[in-house]
A and B are shown apart, each in its own frame.
Chain A
Amino acid sequence: MTAQISEGLLLEGEQVPMMATPLGQYFELGGEKPEFQATCSALWRGYRGSWEIIDDRLYLVGLQGNGLGGRTITQKDLFPDYPERAFAHWYSGTIRIPRGKLLEYVHAGFGSQYEQDLTLTLDRGVVVSKQVIHNGTAPEGATEGYSPAAMTVFQQGDAGGKQE
C-alpha cells in the first residue's frame, strides 16, 4: 500500500490537491480507457488529471499518463475534439480537498488526514453542495501540503514493475 499522488484542481484561482479520480468513473461508464501503465507505487492508476471548476462545473483540463512502452497519453487521446477542456458530466460523487497542516499520515490511497477538508458534492459534473469539515488542529511544525512520503518507482514498460 502506498499513498497515491492526488489529481490537481484549479479552484477559484488556486491550485489544490484533489482526492478523487473522476476519470475512473468515466471508464466505469464505458468511456474508452487507454492502457495506462503504473510507473510507481504512488500512482497505480498510471495517470494524473488536471481539473478546473468554473461556475460550479467540473472540467478536465489536462492529462499526463504513461502508456505501453513509455508512450505519453494526453487528454487528446481520450477526448480528441476536446484536448484542452472537457466537461466532466459523467462524474457524480464527492471530491475531497484537504487543507491546512497534516494531522495523520496514512500511507495508503488518499487516506492522510489534514486539519480541514473541503468536500464538494457533484451531480453529473455540477457542484450541488460544499461542506467544510474541521478534523482538528495539527501540532506545531506539522507539514503542510499533500504528498506521498515514499514510493517505489518501477521500470518503464513493465506492467508489474520492478522494485528498487
Chain B
Amino acid sequence: MNYLYGYLAVGVIYGLSVWIMHKLRPSKNELNDTITAALDKAKEGQPFSFLEDILVPFLAILIIVTAWPVLIVMHIRDKRRFERRLDDDGEEQFTVTAEDVLEQLTIQEIEQREMVMDPLHSVPDLPFGHLNPVWVKFKQSLNEQDAIYSFTKIWQPPLSLYPEEVSGYVCVRDEQPEHFILTKVVELRLN
C-alpha cells in the first residue's frame, strides 16, 4: 500500500512541478500575450460545459497522477523528435543536376536582373535586396574557372505535402553543377 501512495505522491509532485514551472515563465513577452489572447479567443463565448470545465480537468489530473511515467516518456520522445526536426541531416537534400540548368550568365547580368526596387525604400538598393549577404557569400565561393547558370527544378520536399518549383543560380565547376543560391521557391498546390 505504501508503494501505491508513494507512486501517486510522485504523480502529484510531477504535476505540481510542471504547473509551477509554467507559472514561473516570464510573462512580459508580446508573443506570450498573443498566445494568451488566442487561448482567450478560443474560450470566448463558450458557455459552462460539464465536459470541458469539470470532466476534462478532472481526467487530466487523474491521468497525471496515475500515469506520470507514460507522460515523462512521451515528453522525452517529443523532445527528441523536435530536436531531430531542428537538425535533421538524414532527410533528402535538394540538389541541382545538369538537366536543371537553363542559361549561363555573368555576375553583372545576374546582379542587374536581381535588383529589387521598392517605392517605400524598404529594401537595400543592392542585388537580391534583403538577401544580398547570401549572394555575396555565393560570389566569394566562386573560382575563376567557374560558370554560373540559372536553374529551375520541380522537387518534392520530404516533409511537405506539395511539390515546389525552385529557381536560382548554380555554380558549374568542371561541367558539374555544384553549390547554388535560391531565388524563388513556389509551393505548387493542386487547386
Contact = CB atoms under 8 A, between A and B. Distances in A.
Contacts of B22: 153, 155, 164
A110 to B, nearest CB: 12
B129 interface: yes
Interface stretch (B5-13, B70-78, B100-108, B148-156): B70-78
B21 A89 contact: no
A160 B118 contact: no
Interface in B39-60: 39, 41-42, 45
A66 B25 CA distance: 12
Contacts of A94: 187, 189
A160 B123 contact: no
A64 B30 contact: yes
Interface size, B (range)? 35 or more
Given A29-B131, A72-B29, A87 B116 contact: yes
A87 B119 CA distance: 10
Contacts of A124: 116, 184
B116 A89 contact: yes
B74 A148 contact: no
A161 B18 CA distance: 11
A57 B118 contact: yes
A40 B35 contact: yes
A15 interface: no
Given A81-B124, A85-B120, A92-B185, A39 B82 contact: no
Nearest to B166: A28
A159 B86 contact: yes
Interface in B138-167: none
18 contacts: A25-B185, A29-B131, A39-B32, A42-B35, A64-B30, A66-B31, A66-B32, A86-B122, A124-B116, A145-B41, A147-B42, A149-B42, A155-B18, A155-B25, A160-B75, A160-B78, A163-B71, A163-B75
Given A48-B31, A66-B31, A70-B26, 8 more contacts: A28-B185, A31-B134, A39-B35, A66-B32, A82-B130, A89-B123, A161-B78, A164-B18
Interface of A: 5, 25-26, 28-32, 38-40, 42-43, 47-48, 54-55, 57, 59, 64-66, 70, 72, 79, 81-82, 85-87, 89-90, 92-94, 124, 143, 145, 147-151, 153, 155-156, 158-164
Interface of B: 18-19, 21-22, 25-26, 29-32, 34-35, 38-39, 41-42, 45, 71, 74-76, 78-80, 82-83, 86, 116, 118-120, 122-124, 129-131, 133-134, 181-187, 189
